[in-house]
């Protein structure tokens, strides 16, 4: 297959590209804007392997760029869309880029697929979405037929993107599938997200800013599992369907933090309880029966995945120090400066 992987230089997209090039004979074109979150170094392992490098093309560009997207979609069998602004806290600071990429960008991709399909070609569109479209789930677990109830600007942009995908399936007969992944962690994740933020801060003996009482709960999905699930749905998903991709370990943020510190041999005194994220979703939890019935389940448990992740960040200081350069200091001060000044013992 020839795949167009948008956002393929980010955290999950690059894992998808690395694993897909290694496991198949697919040819992949990555289209990525290289925002602060994108990093070509994430594809270096593929570029260092001669047989994989021959099947990988990198294009720096925006999914909102219609002529560029049209020309790339004209040459592909499927589009796998990872491109998005992905950090909830940044969407609270300024949501515009979330909407531009998450709604207009998705529309540009869908239009290109529709046009290609109208010329008689088969092009599948995979939209990588999130458990956050369900909103906070105080008990039980979300099933795919539940109504979307997003609560952050990030989650609303993702839900809007999904609605557009569904509309193209219904109205134009576009071949679409959607994955709704759980909180993902693993190597190459930007250190703005909680797992790498806490690992890298702890490695530097810097404070770990735990929001509120830390009793929020997430279901943690290892990045390789998330990438493989997207590939599985690309290959086997039924057109028009959405699939939950649950994690392999529900954890309170406090317990996740304690596990990270234990792996690093660092003290709990590094943890500071800081003023909470506005509109903080208390809990996400999805039912994975639909994807399991299709033949896929996560393989990496949270204990193993976390140990591997801690080992990777410990061994790849250059990678995350580069991610913590540029605008990082300004972002960190804006997001955490006052919070840490007002922090209390956790
Ligand atoms: P990320 O922020 O690490 O990567 C996003 C990538 O998209 C970056 O490489 C960035 O440069 C690129 N990008 C952003 N805007 C673009 C644009 N307009 N045109 C082209 N490229 C653009 O994100 P991630 O964590 O890898 O998430 C990937 C996808 O998975 C996102 O759609 C996200 O909503 C979804 N998701 C993430 C998680 C998670 O826990 N990280 C969980 C479920 C779903
Ligand atoms: O400094 C922090 N302190 C803290 O307590 C940060 C950054 C987070 N947290 C808490 C908030 C959440 O309860 O940790 C939990 C996880 O936070 P994030 O890593 O920001 O992830 P979350 O908001 O849950 O969203 C993630 O999962 C779903 C991804 O960022 C999304 O892209 C994905 O769709």
Predicted local confidence at residue 114, as pLDDT: 98
Task: Give SS3 for 218.
Answer: strand
Confidence class of residue 104 from pLDDT cuts 50, 70 and 90? very high
- In this prediction, residue 131 carries a pLDDT of 98
pLDDT of residue 117: 95
Model confidence pLDDT, tens digit, residues 165-215: 999 999 999 999 999 999 999 999 999 999 999 999 999 999 999 999 999
Atom of ligand 1 nearest to the CA of 12: 26
Contact 285, 244 (CB under 8 A): no
- Cα 187 versus chain centre, distance: 12
pTM for the full predicted model? 0.99
234: nearest Cα among 177, 289, 182: 177
Q: Which of 62, 131, 162, 225 is catalytic?
A: 131
Cα three-residue angle 87-188-33, rounded to 5 degrees = 60
Among protein residues, the one with the nearest Cα to ligand 1's atom 41 is 184
Q: How far is the CA of 83 from the centre of ligand 1 (A)?
A: 5
Q: Which pLDDT tens digit goes with each residue over 236-259?
A: 999 999 999 999 999 999 999 999
Nearest ligand to the CA of 38 is: 1
Residue 223 alpha carbon to ligand 2 centre in Å: 15
- According to the model, what pLDDT value does residue 295 have? 97
Does residue 288 line the site of ligand 1, with CB under 6 A?
A: no
Q: Which of 129, 135, 211, 282 to mutate to test the pocket of ligand 2 (most atoms within 8 A of CB)?
A: 211
pLDDT for res 19: 98
Is 262 one of the annotated active-site residues of the chain?
A: no
Please indicate whether residue 12, judged by its CB atom, sits closer than 6 Å to ligand 2: no
Could you read off the pLDDT of 68-91 as tens digits, one per residue?
999 999 999 999 999 999 999 999
Distance between CA atoms of residues 220 and 306, nearest Å: 9
Q: Is 35 in the pocket of ligand 1 (CB under 6 A)?
A: yes
What percent of the chain lies above the pLDDT cut of 70? 100
Over the stretch 208-220, which tens digit does the pLDDT of each residue have? 999 999 999 999 9
Q: How many A from CA of 113 to the centre of ligand 2? A: 32
Relative to beta strand 242-245, strand 208-211 is unpaired
User: What's the pLDDT score for residue 161?
Assistant: 98
Taking the centre of ligand 1 as the mean of its atom positions, its distance from the CA of residue 101, in whole angstroms, is: 10
Question: pLDDT by residue (tens digit) across 128-150?
Answer: 999 999 999 999 999 999 999 99
- pLDDT for 323 equals 97
CB-count burial class (<10 Å; 0-12, 13-18, 19+) for 318: exposed
Q: pLDDT band at 109, cuts 50/70/90? A: very high
Report the alpha-carbon distance of residue 33 to residue 52 in Å, rounded.
22
Average pLDDT of every residue of the chain:
98
Catalytic, 211? Answer no
3-state secondary structure of 228: helix
What is the per-residue pLDDT for 28? 98
Ligand 2 and 244: CB distance under 6 A: no
- In the sheet that holds 271-274, the strands lie side by side as 208-211, 271-274, 344-345
Mutate to test the pocket of ligand 1, among 35, 41, 183 (most ligand atoms within 8 A of CB): 35
Catalytic residue status for 26? no
The alpha helices in the chain, defined as continuous H runs, are 11-23, 44-47, 50-54, 66-73, 88-93, 96-99, 106-118, 153-172, 194-203, 223-236, 253-264, 289-294, 302-315, 317-323, 328-332, 338-341
Q: How far is the CA of 155 from the centre of ligand 1 (A)?
A: 13
86 lines ligand 2 (CB under 6 A): yes
């Amino acid at each position: 297959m020839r795949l167009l992987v948008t956002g393929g230089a980010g955290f999950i997209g690059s894992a998808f590209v690395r694993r897909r090039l290694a496991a198949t004979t697919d040819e992949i074109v990555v289209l990525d804007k290289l925002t602060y979150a994108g990093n070509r170094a994430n594809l270096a392992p593929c570029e260092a392997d001669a047989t994989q490098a021959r099947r990988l093309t990198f294009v720096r560009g925006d999914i909102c760029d219609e002529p560029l997207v049209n020309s790339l979609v004209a040459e592909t069998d499927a589009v796998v869309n990872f491109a998005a602004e992905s950090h909830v806290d940044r969407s609270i600071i300024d949501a515009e880029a979330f909407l531009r990429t998450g709604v207009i960008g998705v529309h540009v991709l869908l239009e290109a697929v529709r046009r290609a399909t109208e010329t008689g070609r088969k092009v599948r569109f995979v939209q990588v979405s999130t458990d956050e479209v369900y909103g906070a789930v105080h008990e039980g677990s979300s099933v795919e037929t539940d109504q979307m109830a997003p609560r952050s600007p990030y989650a609303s942009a993702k839900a809007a993107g999904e609605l557009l995908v569904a509309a193209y399936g219904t109205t134009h007969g576009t071949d679409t599938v959607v994955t709704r992944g759980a909180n993902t962690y693993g190597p190459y994740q930007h250190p703005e997200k909680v797992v790498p933020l806490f690992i890298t801060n702890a490695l530097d003996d810097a404070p770990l800013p735990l929001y509120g009482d830390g009793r929020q709960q997430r279901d943690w999905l290892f990045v390789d599992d998330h990438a493989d699930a997207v590939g599985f749905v690309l290959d086997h998903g039924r057109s028009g369907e959405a699939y939950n991709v649950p994690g392999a370990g529900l954890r309170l943020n406090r317990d996740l933090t304690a596990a990270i510190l234990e792996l690093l041999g660092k003290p709990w005194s590094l943890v500071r309880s800081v003023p909470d994220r506005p509109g903080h979703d208390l809990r996400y939890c999805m039912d994975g029966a639909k994807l399991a019935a299709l033949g896929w389940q996560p393989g990496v448990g949270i204990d193993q995945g976390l140990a591997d992740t801690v080992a990777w960040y410990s061994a790849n200081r250059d990678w995350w120090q580069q991610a913590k350069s540029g605008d990082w200091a300004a972002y960190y001060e804006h997001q955490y400066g006052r919070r840490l000044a007002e922090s209390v013992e956790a």
